[in-house]
Amino acid sequence: MAYQALYRTFRPTTLDGLVRQEHIVRILENQIETGRIGHAYLFCGPRGTGKTSTAKIFAKAINCEHPKNGSPCGECAACRALADPSNLDITEIDAASNNGVNEMRDLREKVQYPPVAARYKVYIVDEVHMLSDSAFNALLKTLEEPPKHAVFILATTEPHKLPATILSRCMRFDFKLIPQADIEGRLKGIFREIGKEYEDEAVAAIARAGAGSMRDSLSVADICISYSRGKLTYADVCEVLGSADFYEVAKLGESLLKEDSSAALTETERVLSSGKGVGVLAKDILTFLNQCTVAKTCKNGNAILNLPSEMYEEIVRIAAAADGRKILRCCEIFADVETDLRYSSSPRIVLETAVAKACLPEADQDVLALARRLERLEERLKSGAFVPSAATAEQERAQSEPSGGREEMRGAAAREEERPPLLEEEAPPEDVFSHAADPFAAKGPSAEAVNALAPEKRKAAFGFFMRSLRKNVKSGVLFTMCQDLESSFEGDRFVLETASDVIFRRLNSEENHASVAAALEAIGIKDFEIRLKAAKKDPLQQDIETIRKNFPDADIEIR
């Protein structure tokens, strides 16, 4: 007899043999036991989760004379008759190749004939979403009101492509992806049955490659059994899957997490030049980063990953030295690579760009990259990298004042240096502004010595006011609002003007007005006023008003 693939040899024949579809098994068992058999069923879900197997088991079970726990007994006359491939009471239709309206019309005619050796005539339509619109329309009426002996079981991986009129006429069952632990248990049972020795890590690698599909896992296992003549090892499975060597990928992943672009690109070039595909390497990197995430966040990470101990220790070492946000960001980058590779004519460039992007966060504009830049700026601030020298501070102070004010300030500073200060002044409080960059933050004369009303100091009064405001008021918002004010004296009254109505109202609020008064009083100014600068009139409008004033009797028309 010709060799039969594992997924065909070990296809379940009873509902008990299905792996992790308990919610569906329970419903079908109850329907068979109570005889409440529907006329149309829809089995949908990912590939390799048991849709067709369940349909075949259910088709035999509803015709079985003595079902056991909702499964066919395999011994009665009906079961023996249905086991014959020539029996027409259970018909399987591949909708992918029989998707036209003529095939559905033919089915509609044949469904009227009663079964030959069974109770029900069952039609299993696989990949039903491939039917054309006209074929669906031809099937619609028959599906809604079929003969009493007819049962339809539709199977599909894409239920969203079915018309709503079809969906509403079926009992829908959604099959779930199979957990890795259940796939591992099923694989180990099959290996024991065929007498194949194995490593637990090898079985785990096969189950991971199946990604929740039992058929995919059995297909990989079939290849691995043919590849390994002795005990099936983890290295054998990696070789069959075409994966890069674990330690090569680990070295590349470590370079990514350390942001060493030179080492990462060099290692990428070396792995690709050894013959590994770009898509395979991208998938291996993403798998490694996912393993680092598990090792970083879970205490019992190896219970989830099920890797050889030396490999898991290497992952733990790399993950412990990396920032958690960096690992997640790299996972996001390489998750996008898999999609980008499908539509790219230069897959190698796409991969190398992703490697460079992961290693150069300063060139990226995502949240993590901005956070990293902020951290670096904070470190430089703490180390004093941005504190200017005394000469730079003096230059900035000179540029911040008008020419007359600068001369006046220099004269005042020179005179103050010639005599000892009247009062020891305490340093201004720490705030978010840099003291070195503040032209009024350095120690100077006391409030009594400043007296901004003195004739020789009036030109620099605004500078003294801003310094006093910085020292006496801790509100950075108020300091910012006052920076663009215009100042002047009307006699001994100090006038502050702004063209912004918002700033005018905010400065005249009770709290801010008191703060400004305190800052001015500290430099000897008690009489002040905050004004809203009048908006400038349009020159044309001013000319028109002048003409009307000089010639009140004239009829002036504006065009």
pLDDT at 171 over 90: yes
Whole-number pLDDT of residue 418? 47
More confident residue, 89 or 541: 89
What average pLDDT score do residues 428-436 get?
39
| Residue with the larger pLDDT of the pair 435 and 497 | 497
Provide the pLDDT for residue 450.
Answer: 52
Mean pLDDT of the chain: 82
- Report the distance separating Cα 101 and Cα 137, nearest Å: 8
DSSP-derived 3-state class of residue 333: helix
Angstrom distance (rounded) from CA 233 to CA 291: 20
Extents of the domains making up the chain: 6-174, 180-241, 246-380, 390-532
Confidence of residue 436 (pLDDT cuts 50, 70, 90): very low
Q: Which of 64, 62, 69 is nearest to 152 (CA)?
A: 62
Confirm if 519 and 468 have CB atoms less than 8 A apart: yes
pLDDT band at residue 417 under the 50/70/90 scheme: very low
Angstrom distance (rounded) from CA 323 to CA 112: 68
pLDDT value of residue 428 = 41
Helix (H, G, I), strand (E, B) or coil at 352: helix
Please report which confidence band the pLDDT of residue 116 belongs to, taking 50, 70 and 90 as the band edges.
confident
- Tell me whether residue 175 is exposed, middle or buried, using C-beta atoms within 10 angstroms of its C-beta: 0 to 12, 13 to 18, 19 or more: buried
Can you read off the two tokens belonging to residue 390? Answer: 């005394």
Mean pLDDT of all residues in 431-452: 42
The pairing of beta strand 493-498 with beta strand 486-490: antiparallel
Higher pLDDT, 34 or 363: 34
Amino acid, res. 98? N
pLDDT number for residue 407 = 52
The per-residue pLDDT for 216 is 93
Phi/psi at 489 (5° precision):
-115, 135
In the CATH scheme, what architecture does the domain 180-241 have? Orthogonal Bundle (1.10)
For residues 103-132, average pLDDT: 91
Which candidate, 83, 82, 84, 65, places its Cα nearest to that of 73? 65
Domain spanning 6-174, CATH architecture: 3-Layer(aba) Sandwich (3.40)
How confident is the model at residue 444, as a pLDDT?
42
Q: Are 452 and 525 in contact (CB under 8 A)?
A: yes
CA distance 257 to 293: 12
Compute the distance between CA of residue 334 and CA of residue 284 in angstroms, rounded to an integer: 10
Tally of CA atoms within 13 A in the half-sphere of 105 that contains its CB: 4
Between the ranges 69-73, 413-417, 500-504, where is the mean pLDDT highest?
A: 69-73
pLDDT at 362: 67
What's the average model confidence in pLDDT over 358-373?
70
Q: What is the CB-side half-sphere exposure of residue 183 using CA atoms within 13 A?
A: 29
Percent with pLDDT over 70 in the chain: 82
Element (H, E) at 303: helix 301-305
**Average pLDDT rounded to a whole number, residues 237-253:** 86
Burial (CB < 10 A; 0-12, 13-18, 19+), residue 554, is exposed
Least-confidence region, from 11-15, 41-45, 368-372: 368-372
Higher pLDDT pick, 407 / 121 = 121
Q: Are 437 and 396 in contact (CB under 8 A)?
A: yes
Q: In this structure, what DSSP letter does residue 20 have?
A: S
Q: What is the arithmetic mean of pLDDT over 445-463? A: 64
Q: Is the pLDDT of residue 97 over 70?
A: yes
Write down the pLDDT at residue 163.
Answer: 92
Largest CA distance in the chain: 123
Rounded to whole angstroms, how far apart are CA atoms 185 and 200? 10
Buried b (16+ CB within 10 A) or exposed e, 527-541: ebebeeeeeeeeeee
Is pLDDT at 412 greater than 60 in this prediction? no
Quote the pLDDT of residue 366: 62
Q: How many CA atoms lie within 13 A of 455 on its CB side?
A: 0
CATH architecture of 246-380: Up-down Bundle (1.20)
Decide whether 6-174 matches 180-241 in CATH topology: no
pLDDT at 367: 63
Nearest partner of 492 among 525, 463, 449, 464, judged by Cα: 525
Range with lowest mean pLDDT among 61-65, 320-324, 369-373, 432-436 = 432-436
Give residue 245's pLDDT. Answer: 78
Q: How confident is the model at residue 150 (pLDDT cuts 50, 70, 90)?
A: very high
Residue 550: its pLDDT value, please? 75
Question: What phi, psi does 298 have (nearest 5°)?
Answer: -115, 135
45-59, 131-145, 233-247: segment of lowest average pLDDT: 233-247
What percent of the chain lies above the pLDDT cut of 90?
A: 35
Task: Identify the H or E element spanning 122.
Answer: strand 121-126
Contact between residue 247 and residue 314 where contact means Cβ atoms under 8 Å apart = yes
CB atoms within 10 A of CB 192: 11
- Residue 443: its pLDDT value, please? 40
Of 528, 519, 483, 475, nearest to 503 by C-alpha is 483
pLDDT digits (tens, 9 = 90+) for 188-230: 999 999 999 999 889 988 998 888 999 999 999 999 999 988 8
Model pLDDT for residues 33-43, shown as the tens digit of each residue: 998 999 999 99
